[in-house]
A = this chain, B = another copy of it.
Amino acid sequence: MTVNFDLIATDGAARLGRITTAHGVIDTPAFMPVGTAGTVKAMMPESVAATGAQIVLGNTYHLMLRPGAERMERLGGLHKFMNWPGPILTDSGGFQVMSLSKLRTIDESGVTFQSHLDGSKHHLSPERSMEIQHSLDADITMAFDECTPFPATHDQAKTSQELSMRWAERSKTAFVKRQGYGLFGIVQGGIYPDLRQQSVQALTAIGFDGYAVGGLAVGEGQDMMFQVLDVTTPLLPQDRPRYLMGVGRPLDIIGAVLRGIDMFDCVMPTRSGRTAQAFTKRGTVNLRNARHQDDLRPLDEECGCPLCRNYSRAYIHHLFRSEEILAPMLLTWHNLHYYQDIMRGLRSAIAAGKAQAFAQAAMELERVGDIPILNL
């Protein structure tokens, strides 16, 4: 076995599970903070762990350009480099090549592109992506694919998906098996049920340690995303983890868990932590807003993160207005803590057979909105 998956309980389509990797276990449903360039931005790794996160995501595209894959291998891999002893999942680099690099050309072999940092020329292919992710020492490696853009016609989505499936096979061939390390395939096919179905068939015929659903959260909206999940996740093997890539907002995650997804990643909690947007169970709160400037209350009095335990809204507002580094430090921590609170809540709810009720309560509370202003 490469990475192990134990399905502990189900509640409708929702699943409670545990993934075991070379660097530790991940209780699912799980949210993976994004550590793009070898750091979850504005967080010490021990603080990331303190939020409850058990796995972080690293970006192959960024790391291959800086510090470089071979240097990273010489330096002992990503765990050691960034002082994260727990599991790491790396993406394949394909998505970010298409969104960040310059002058990219794609053909059957892979993608040739110029670095957005210095214009240097690089090539990524299924084989090279596997090699780099091996150098990074990723516990979970993602197959190299093309993320089908949205919108795409059926023909465009089909061509793209079929390329990704051929690349998936080459990824599997190139992946070096090691105990505790796994390779995930990525279902593509845009918004077209027949293409998603064909993609699942192709991937399961190859055989992967887990299955990701890719090409979503690219502008299609939550309804459409859930429709795609509704036709996709029932086809996926029960005994392997499922990962919805790049998703999402709290209610996206909750809805996807109800549809059988086990793993998530998204830059939202970390990125929003740098732009004063707080995620709370009453929806998002913009801490730069002057309504907070005299508010002695914590952001959320029930939250256990340092921001909520030790500081007033007035102080966090002041830090953002003053552009102090402590502002993103504290709010990123809060947002990641809140995301992990959701995952803890989901796992408890599934164990108790109350996943639907949990989702319902979350939706209703978000609709209520932030607590009213309390002037001094």
Contact = CB atoms under 8 A, between A and B. Distances in A.
Contacts of A319: 38-39
Contact of A315 (B42, B81, B294): B81
A306 interface: yes
Given A44-B306, A81-B312, A67 B325 contact: no
Given A37-B324, A66-B322, A324-B37, A44 B329 contact: yes
A376 B42 CA distance: 29
Interface string A264-290: 000000000010000000000000000
Interface string A291-311: 001101000000000100011
B325 A328 contact: yes
Interface in A32-70: 37-39, 41-44, 66-67
Contacts of A296: 75-76
Chain A at the B interface: SS class: loop
Interface of A: 37-39, 41-44, 66-67, 71, 74-76, 81-83, 274, 293-294, 296, 306, 310-312, 314-315, 318-319, 321-322, 324-326, 328-330, 376
Given A83-B315, A325-B329, 16 more contacts: A37-B318, A37-B322, A37-B324, A38-B319, A39-B322, A41-B324, A43-B326, A44-B326, A44-B329, A71-B293, A71-B294, A81-B315, A83-B311, A274-B325, A325-B328, A329-B329
